[in-house]
C-alpha cells in the first residue's frame, strides 16, 4: 500500500526582507525530504493568512520597527503571537525576525520594541554595526544535528546585514546553535539559537545557496 502524501503548509511573512529567496531555499530543501511529503509555501500578509493548518512560519529580515508597525496597523499582533505560542507550530526568525521573537531587546528605538515573546534571550540590535558594516563570514556551528546535515562539505556561511546578536540567554532551555565574531568584535556572540519550536538566526541563510538551515527548519516541523 502506498503511503499517504502529507502536505506541510508553511507561511512566510511578506512585509519586508528576502521572502522570495526564503521560498526558493525552502523548495530546494524540500527535495531532500521523503517522497510522501509536499511543501506548500504561502505568503502571509494579513490576519486571514494566519491559520491553524499552517505548521511553519518564517519571519524574514528587514526593519523590526517597521514590521511591528505593519503588524499593529493590520491587527496581526495578537493572532501572530498566539499562533507562535502554539506548540504544534514552528517559527523561524532571521535578523529582524530574531528581534521580534526575543523577549528583551537592547538598544531599542524610542517607544520600545514590540515582541512576540517567544525566546528567552536578550538581543542587541545592530550588534555588528550599521549597514556599511555588513559582512559575510564562517559560522561556528555548535549543534550536532546541524553538522550532520550533509548537503556538501562547505563550511556554514553567514550573511550579516546590520545584524543583531544574542548577548545572553535567560533560560537553560535555549539551545545555542551558532556563534560568530569579527575583527572589530573578536568576542564570539550567539547568532543562532533554538528554544522548543522556535528557531532564530541573526544572519540570512536565504541569501546563500546553502539550504541546510531551511532543511533543519523543515525537519523541526516534521518532528512536531
Catalytic residue numbers, as ranges: 95, 204, 206
Q: Which three cell numbers stand for residue 189?
A: 556572540
- Residue reference for cell 533560560: 171
- Using CA atoms, how far residue 24 sits from 10, 38, 110, 142, in Å, is 13, 14, 36, 26
Q: Contact, 83 vs 49, CB < 8 A?
A: no
- Using CA atoms, how far residue 176 sits from 89, 142, 190, 198, in Å, is 20, 7, 7, 12
Q: Which three cell numbers stand for residue 70?
A: 505593519
Amino acid at each position: 500500500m502506498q503511503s499517504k502524501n502529507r502536505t506541510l503548509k508553511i507561511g512566510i511573512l511578506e512585509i519586508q526582507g528576502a521572502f522570495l529567496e526564503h521560498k526558493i531555499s525552502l523548495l530546494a530543501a524540500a527535495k531532500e525530504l521523503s517522497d510522501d511529503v509536499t511543501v506548500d509555501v504561502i505568503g502571509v500578509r494579513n490576519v486571514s493568512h494566519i491559520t491553524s493548518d499552517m505548521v511553519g512560519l518564517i519571519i524574514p529580515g528587514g526593519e523590526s520597527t517597521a514590521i511591528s508597525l505593519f503588524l499593529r496597523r493590520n491587527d496581526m499582533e495578537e493572532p501572530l503571537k498566539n499562533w507562535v505560542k502554539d506548540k504544534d507550530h514552528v517559527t523561524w526568525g532571521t535578523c529582524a525576525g530574531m528581534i521580534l521573537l526575543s523577549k528583551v531587546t537592547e538598544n531599542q528605538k524610542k517607544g520600545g520594541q514590540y515582541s512576540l515573546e517567544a525566546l528567552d534571550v536578550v538581543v542587541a540590535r545592530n550588534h555588528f554595526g550599521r549597514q556599511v558594516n555588513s559582512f559575510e563570514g564562517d559560522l561556528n556551528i555548535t549543534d550536532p544535528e546541524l553538522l550532520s546535515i550533509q548537503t556538501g562539505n562547505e563550511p556554514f556561511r553567514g550573511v550579516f546585514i546590520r545584524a543583531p546578536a544574542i548577548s545572553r540567554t535567560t533560560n537553560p532551555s535555549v539551545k545555542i546553535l551558532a556563534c560568530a565574531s569579527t575583527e572589530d568584535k573578536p568576542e564570539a556572540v550567539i547568532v543562532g539559537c533554538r528554544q522548543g519550536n522556535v528557531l532564530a538566526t541573526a544572519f540570512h541563510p536565504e541569501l546563500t545557496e546553502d539550504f541546510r538551515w531551511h532543511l533543519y527548519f523543515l525537519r523541526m516541523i516534521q518532528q512536531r
